[in-house]
């Protein structure tokens, strides 16, 4: 073999490895029950994402701006103790067994009523008082990423059935992909999502109100004073909820609108175009100062657009880190809130013998001035 061909082969191998990316595992502290928590760092072209086993949380996503400067574009804490102490924001977590709200924590399956803990005034939020965000998942390095596994036993937080969940995070060419797989041994309800807060400026302090957002949805689900859907699919036409064309978040967030007043801003579910189970665009965010663009695609039927209305700057952990109102936005791909109590909504019921699979991808790019 000539040196020339050897060089070409080595170059090809290096290119292939760069495209595949790398996965490293490090210790990230100890959970309150003594369980060790690991941090997996995934690297590929244009992206570096760190995922920890406590809550299967996204700890950081580092991407370049239009000038090539790399920064973390999600909110969180520098150490585990911040996440443990903070019981209200769900930074970066996989939330469940039922992400979002269930009215009064009650639902029925086959005529049997179940009660789960109410932790959001009179309602249940993100699975109850000890949701998936508070548990240590089992991590395993895979090609281009990490697989997180959790077994939620029958009766966990009042939910029926032993639910087995696999969540795979993988990175490739500026994108973080999340694949969810769930199965159960009894009929149950499940609605998993990722609760990352994005700040595309990359400093964690800049308001997101100047970001431009596009949501390709003709309808949304209005809520009552407890932020529970009324059951109506309302048109966005002529309302501050019309983001079918890219619009600055702050352009209408303070409008004299009852829905905005109830939530203190945007904290609603949009009904995405396209069929449930088919990949579709859920939203796009553009930060003009950094040039960063986030595009979200999903197989889910809805997306909860939340503008960090309840962030209040409270400081957590030894480092005393906090985040102010409107410094992060969430695009939580999901089934609709309170679906078990709205038969007309896409069902969240999962039965034995079924395997539910959904995918959401966060793709980062830049836009020139």
Calculate the CA dihedral of residues 119, 185, 170, 49 and round it to 10 degrees. 20
Token readout for 75 is 């909110």
The active-site residue out of 172, 195, 268, 342 is 195
In the prediction, which pLDDT does 106 show? 98
Token readout for 314 is 């409270």
Give the 3-state secondary structure of residue 337: coil
In the prediction, which pLDDT does 11 show? 40
Whole-model pTM: value is 0.94
In the prediction, which pLDDT does 21 show? 83
CA-nearest of 243, 297, 234 to 266 is 243
- List % helix, strand, coil for the chain (3-state, nearest 5): 10, 40, 45
The CA-to-CA distance between both ends of the chain, in Å, stands at 49
Q: How many C-beta atoms surround the C-beta of residue 309 within 10 A?
A: 15
| Catalytic site includes residue 321 | no
| Catalytic site includes residue 335 | no
Ramachandran angles phi, psi of 162, nearest 5°: -80, 115
The active-site residue out of 48, 182, 300, 332 is 332
How far apart CA 234 and CA 221 sit, in angstroms, is 6
**Contact call for residues 268 and 221 (beta carbons, < 8 A):** yes
Q: Which CATH class is domain 27-366?
A: mainly beta
In the prediction, which pLDDT does 20 show? 63
Sites in the chain below the pLDDT cut of 70: 1-20
In the prediction, which pLDDT does 137 show? 98
In the prediction, which pLDDT does 369 show? 82
Where along the chain do its domains lie? 27-366
pLDDT digits (tens, 9 = 90+) for 76-130: 999 999 999 999 999 999 999 999 999 999 999 999 999 999 999 999 999 999 9
pLDDT digits (tens, 9 = 90+) for 262-284: 999 999 999 999 999 999 999 99
**Contact call for residues 51 and 169 (beta carbons, < 8 A):** yes
């Amino acid at each position: 073999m000539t040196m020339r061909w050897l060089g070409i082969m080595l170059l090809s191998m290096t290119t292939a490895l760069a495209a595949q990316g790398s996965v490293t595992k490090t210790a990230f502290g100890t959970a309150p029950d003594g369980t060790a928590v690991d941090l997996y760092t995934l690297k590929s072209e244009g992206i570096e994402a760190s995922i920890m086993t406590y809550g299967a949380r996204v700890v950081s996503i580092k991407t370049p701006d239009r000038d090539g400067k790399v920064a973390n574009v999600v909110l969180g804490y520098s150490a585990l103790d911040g996440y443990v102490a903070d019981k209200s924001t769900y930074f970066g977590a996989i939330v469940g067994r039922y992400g979002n709200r269930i009215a009064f924590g009650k639902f029925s399956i086959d005529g049997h009523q179940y009660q789960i803990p109410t932790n959001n005034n009179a309602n249940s939020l993100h699975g109850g008082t000890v949701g998936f965000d508070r548990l240590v998942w089992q991590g395993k390095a895979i090609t281009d990423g990490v697989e997180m596994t959790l077994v939620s036993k029958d009766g966990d937080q009042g939910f029926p059935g032993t639910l087995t969940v696999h969540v795979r995070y993988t990175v490739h060419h500026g994108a973080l992909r999340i694949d969810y797989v769930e199965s159960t041994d009894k009929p149950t309800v499940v609605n998993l999502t990722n609760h990352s807060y994005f700040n595309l400026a990359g400093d964690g302090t800049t308001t997101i109100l100047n970001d431009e957002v596009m949501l390709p949805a003709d309808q949304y689900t209005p809520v009552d004073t407890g932020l529970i859907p009324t059951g109506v699919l309302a048109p966005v036409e002529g309302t501050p909820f019309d983001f079918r064309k890219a619009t600055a978040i702050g352009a209408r967030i303070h409008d004299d609108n009852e829905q905005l007043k109830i939530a203190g801003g945007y904290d609603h579910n949009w009904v995405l175009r396209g069929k449930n189970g088919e990949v579709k665009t859920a939203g796009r965010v553009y930060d003009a100062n950094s040039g960063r663009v986030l595009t979200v695609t999903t197989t889910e039927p809805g997306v909860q657009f939340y503008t960090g209305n309840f962030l209040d700057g409270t400081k957590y952990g030894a480092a005393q880190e906090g985040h102010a109102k409107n410094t992060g936005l969430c695009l939580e791909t999901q089934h609709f809130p309170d679906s078990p109590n709205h038969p007309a909504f896409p069902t969240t019921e999962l039965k034995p013998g079924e395997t539910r699979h959904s995918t959401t991808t966060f793709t980062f790019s830049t836009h020139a001035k």
